[in-house]
Amino acid sequence: MNTKSPVGASERLDAELLRGLADRERGLFVIGRPAPILKRVIKPAFTWEHAEPGFTFPALEYTISRGALEQFLSLAGRCGLEMTRRQYKNVPMMFFTDEPMQCIVTLFQKSGRLHASHEMEGFQPVPVGATVRSIAKVENRFIRSIGQFVKICCVTAIVDECGLTPAVKTTATLVL
């Protein structure tokens, strides 16, 4: 007996197999439902109304591993920065360049449209393996002819048994 599949059956089977693969790939996002639903937290954009002077973003706390530093140095080398030639005992100050923006995206979708200026000041070296905490706040906001500007100040401190020891201060001015 020769059985033939109904017309379109193989296309339906292929589509089911592809859906199954897609479900496995995004398995972290499936929340116990028969039909998978992609869960994604939608954050608001950082706007002028949010940028009140004194507004403090949630603190970032993390340990700087040797692997994270090597990845940073690799990316810096691809961007043309000559920082990859030596073995580092301390983390280069450039590692903390984007701390204000990282603090902003803890609450908001993005940090602004344009990065207008950037200043950094180092107080002490940060050793590889140290745990750091970055705290950013809105220092000032102002309007110029080309747009609305927000100045964000972020202090990155080393967390140790004595408490917090300031290591790097980063100030970024963003155009909203």
Beta strands across the sheet bearing 147-160: 60-63, 131-144, 147-160, 163-175, 114-122
Rounded-to-integer distance, Cα 48 and Cα 45, Å: 10
pLDDT at 114 (0 to 100): 80
pLDDT at 120 (0 to 100): 95
The pTM (predicted TM-score) of the whole model is: 0.71
pLDDT at 68 (0 to 100): 86
What are the boundaries of each domain within the chain? 1-40, 60-64+96-175
Q: What averages of pLDDT result for each successive group of 10 residues across the chain (176 residues)?
A: 48 55 46 53 84 94 88 72 66 89 87 84 93 95 91 95 92 92
CATH fold label, 60-64+96-175: Thiol Ester Dehydrase; Chain A (3.10.129)
Return the amino acid letter for 26: R
